[in-house]
Structure 1
Amino acid sequence: TMEENKRTLVYLITGGCGFLGKHLLDVLLEKEEKLAEVRVFDKHIYPGFHEQRKTDEVEVTLIQGDITDYNSVLEATKGVDVVIHSASLVDVWHKIPASLIYSVNVTGTENVIRACVECGVERLVYTSSMEVIGPNVKGDHFKSRGNEDTKYEVKHTMAYPKSKAKAENIVLRANGSQKYVEVVLLLHGCNFLGSACYLKSFVLPSLQEKIWKFQSLKNQTTLELTVQSNVAWMHVLAARALKMNPEKVAGEAFFCYDESPYKSYEDFNMELLSEFNFRKVCMPGIVLCFLAILNDFLRWILSPFYNYTPLLNRYTLAVASTTFTVQTDKAQRYFQYQPLYDWSQCLARTQSWIRTFPADKQKDS
C-alpha cells in the first residue's frame, strides 16, 4: 500500500528500555508517520517490553547489548537512518565506580559516533544533562531563568556531570568533522514523571509504612521541571530538523522545557505524593548541610569495607538547594517545538503509576 511505502525511517534508541527511552519509543510510534522500524538497544531488557509496544505498522526490534562493546553497537547501527543516543549511567550517590560511569558515558558515546560514521548514519541526537552545567561545586544559582547563552561557571567533582560534559565535547567535535554525521544536543534536567529509579527507590519502601519527608528551609529555591514525554517529543522534532534544516540546527544545544511550573523539590514532591500520606518536616538548612558533610565523611571512612551511599550528600544537597530555572524558546524558534502534554495531565498519570508500586512489589516477592 501507499501507506507502507511511506514508512521507510529506521530509528535506533540507545538506552531504549530506560525511563526516557520508553517515552522516546512511545512518542515515535505515535507521532512519526514515516517510521518503519525502531531498534531498542539496551543492556537490560525487561519481560513484556515488546508485547506492550508492538504495532501492526512499525517493527519494534529489541537488541540486548552493551554500549561499551563497539561490535554490538555497530551491528545495531547498520541500516539505521537516525540514532538517538540516550544510554547513560546516572549516579549522584557514589553507588557506581567512576571508571564504569566514564566507560558507559564517554566510551559508549565514542562507540556510537564511530558506528554512525562507519554505517553512514547522518543524524545523531544526543541526550545530555543539565548537570553538565550545574549546580557547580560552589552552589551558584543559575539566576534570572537563564537560557542556552547564559554565562555560568562550570566546575564539578562528581564523575557523572564530568563524564557527561566530556561526552558532550566529543559529540560537538564530531559534528560536521566526521563523514556525514550531523548532531544536535538536548540538555534535560529535573524531569517530571521523575527518574523511575529514584521514585521507586524512594517512594516504594515508604508506601509500606508511614514516612517523613525532610525539607530544607530554603523555600526560595526553585527548579525547572519538565515532562518526560515532552522531552521525548523534542528529540523527535530535533531529528526531523536535522533532515530538513541541518545547516540551522546541527551542532546546536537546546534546553528541554515545557509549560510545567517552577517549583522546589519539596513542593513538587508534596504535590505529587501528598495523597500517599507523605508528610513534610521542616529542617534547618544548616542541619542538612551538617548531615550531608557527615554522610560524605562516613562514606570515605567506610569505603574500604562497605559502600555507604545515602541519598543525602553534599552534591545532592547542592542540587536540591540551588535555584536552576530556564526560560527559553530556542527549540520553538529552531524546529517549531510545542509541548505535547500539560502539567495536570502528567501529574495525574504519574500518580496513577505510583499507585501500581505495591502491586509491583507483591509480584516481585
Structure 2
Amino acid sequence: MRKPMKVIVGDIVKMEEARKAFRGVDCVIHCAAMVSYQFPPDHESLDRVNVTGTRNVVSLCVEMGIPRLVFCSTSEVTLTPYLGGIFAVIINQTEYKALPPSRDKEQKLLLPGYPASKLRAEKVILAANNTLLANGRGRLHTVALRPTLLYGEQDPRLVTSLIHLSEKMDGSLVRFAGTGGLQQFTYVGNAAWAHLRAKDQLLVTRPGGGIAGLPIFVTDDTPAGDLFTFAQKVTTRADLPPRCCLSRWYIPAFLAYLMAILLELVVLILRVPLSFPPRGVVSFLGSTVLYNRLRAAVHLDYTPIFQPQESYSRANKYYTRNKSFDKINL
C-alpha cells in the first residue's frame, strides 16, 4: 500500500529548523549525514553534521515524545588493519567479533574522517537507548544499522566515482591496488528494507530486550568481490564496453601504498585537498571484508527482498543511462 510522503527541508544542526520534521511522528529513521572522504578530512564539518546533528536528533526525539529511533551507520566503523598491517581482514564475523576501535584509537580506522564521525554518532545513538521521554510516556528505543557498501539508484559516489575515473582514463580503469581484495556490496533497496524492519521491531521491543541498544550489520546476497570488478559488472552495456572497463595490468598493492604515502605528503605540503584518502583507498581495496548478518536475520526478521539478479538489473539501468553523472569531483 502506497503511503503519502511529505517533504520537509531542514538542517539537523539547527534544532529549531529541524523540529518541524519531528511533529506528529512515532519513529525517526536518521539517515542524514555529511558523507565525505576528503583528504585531509574536514573534521570540524564532519563532527558538526554527523555528531552534533545526531545529538540534536536524539534530543528532539526525547523532547517530542518519539519512542523509536533507527540510525543509519556504516560497517566502515569496524575497519581497522589486521595485525598492524595495511589491510583489514574480516571473515564471516558478527557484531561480537568485528568491533569498532575505542575513542583513543579511532585514527587506526582504514578510512580517515567520515567513519570516525559516524562511529561517534553511533555511540550517541546507542547510549541514548532507554532514555525517559520528556512527556513521561515511555522511553526512547534506539538501534544502529551498519550496511556495507551501498550500490544502486541515486548512488552519488561509489560506482559513479569509478565511472568518472574511467572516463578520465579514456575508458580504462587501472587497478591501482593489486588484483583487489574481497568486499561485500548491498543493494540500496535491501538496505532500505532493513531500516523498515528495524522500525517495526522497535515497536515490539521489550525493556532490556530485542534489538534496542544494538548495532546490526546489514548485507544481502550480492556476491562478494573486489570493487573494480563489481563496478565493471554493474556498468556493462549491450553494444558498448562497460562504463568501468578494467585494464589488463595492475599496480601491486604495496607499491600503490608507497605511492599513496608520497601523494599524501605532496597534498599536505601544497595544501590542495583530494576527494579521497590515497592510503585509505588502497588499504580498503586490498582488504577482505565479509560480515555475518545473523543478528539482522534473527532480531530484525530481515531477508533481502531484492535478489542479486534484480538488484544488478535495477542498478545497471541507473549506471548505464546516457546522462552523465554530475557534481562528482576526483
**Partners in 1 of 2:276 and 2:18 — Cα distance?**
33
SS of the aligned residue for 2:317 comes to: helix
Which one-letter code corresponds to 2:257 in the other structure?
A: C
Equivalent position SS for 1:120: coil
Q: In 2, are the aligned partners of 1:89 and 1:101 still within 8 Å (CA)?
A: yes
How much is the aligned-residue C-alpha RMSD, in angstroms? 2.4
Q: Distance in 2 between matches of 1:128 and 1:334?
A: 17
Compute the TM-score of the two structures, normalised by the length of structure 2.
0.84
3-state SS of 1:341 partner: coil
Structure 2 letter corresponding to 1:355 = T
Gap runs ≥5 in structure 1:
1-32, 34-56
Runs of 4+ in 1 over 3 A off after TM superposition: 135-140, 198-202, 204-209, 216-220
Report the Cα offset of residue 341 of structure 1: 0.3
Give the corresponding residue for 1:249.
211
- Distance change (3 Å), C-alpha of 1:311 and 1:99: closer
Alpha-carbon offset, residue 311 of structure 1: 3.9
Choose from 165, 168, 176 the match for 2:130.
Answer: 176
1:200–1:357 Cα contact (<8 Å) kept: no
Q: How many angstroms does 1:142 deviate by? A: 3.2
In 1, Cα distance between equivalents of 2:90 and 2:61:
38
Structure 2 match to 1:285: 253
SS in 2 for 1:226: strand
Q: Secondary structure at the match of 2:183?
A: coil
**Contact 1:92 / 1:316 at 8 angstroms: preserved in 2?**
no
User: Which of 67, 75, 83 is 1:130 aligned to?
Assistant: 75
Counterpart in 2 of 1:236? 196
The structure carrying a bigger helix percent of its residues is: 1
- Structure 2 CA distance for partners of 1:178 and 1:291, relative to 1, 3 Å: farther
- CA 1:220–1:60 in 2, change beyond 3 Å: closer, same or farther? closer
1:93 aligns with 2:38: yes
The answer to whether 1:188 aligns with 2:147 is: yes
| DSSP-derived class of the 1:271 partner | helix
* 2:4 maps to which of 55, 59, 75: 59
**Superposition pairs for residues 1-365 of structure 1, below 5 Å?**
58-94=3-39, 97-136=42-81, 138-152=85-99, 154=101, 155-157=105-107, 158-179=112-133, 180-193=139-152, 195-204=155-164, 206-207=166-167, 210-216=170-176, 218-219=178-179, 221-246=181-206, 247-275=209-237, 276=242, 278-280=245-247, 281-303=249-271, 307-309=272-274, 311=276, 313-358=278-323
Query: Residue deviations 1:163-205, cap 9 Å, x none?
Result: 1111111111100034221001100121232842343344147
Deviations 1:314-360, CA, capped at 9 Å, x for gaps:
11111111111112321111131111101111112112112225366
CA distance in 1, matches of 2:26, 2:74: 24
Aligned to 2:136: none
**Structure of higher RCO (CA pairs closer than 8 Å, 6+ residues apart):** 2
Moved more, 109-118 or 318-327: 318-327
Q: Structure 1 vs Structure 2: percent identity of aligned residues?
A: 23
- Tell me the residue number matched to 1:37: none
Whether contact under 8 Å (2:176, 2:256) holds in the other structure is yes
Helix, strand or coil: the match of 1:156?
helix
Normalised by the length of structure 1, the TM-score is: 0.76
Which amino acid in 2 is paired with 1:289?
A: Y
Question: Counterpart of 2:210 in 1: which secondary structure?
Answer: helix
SS at match of 2:142: strand
Q: What number of residue pairs does the alignment pair up?
A: 303
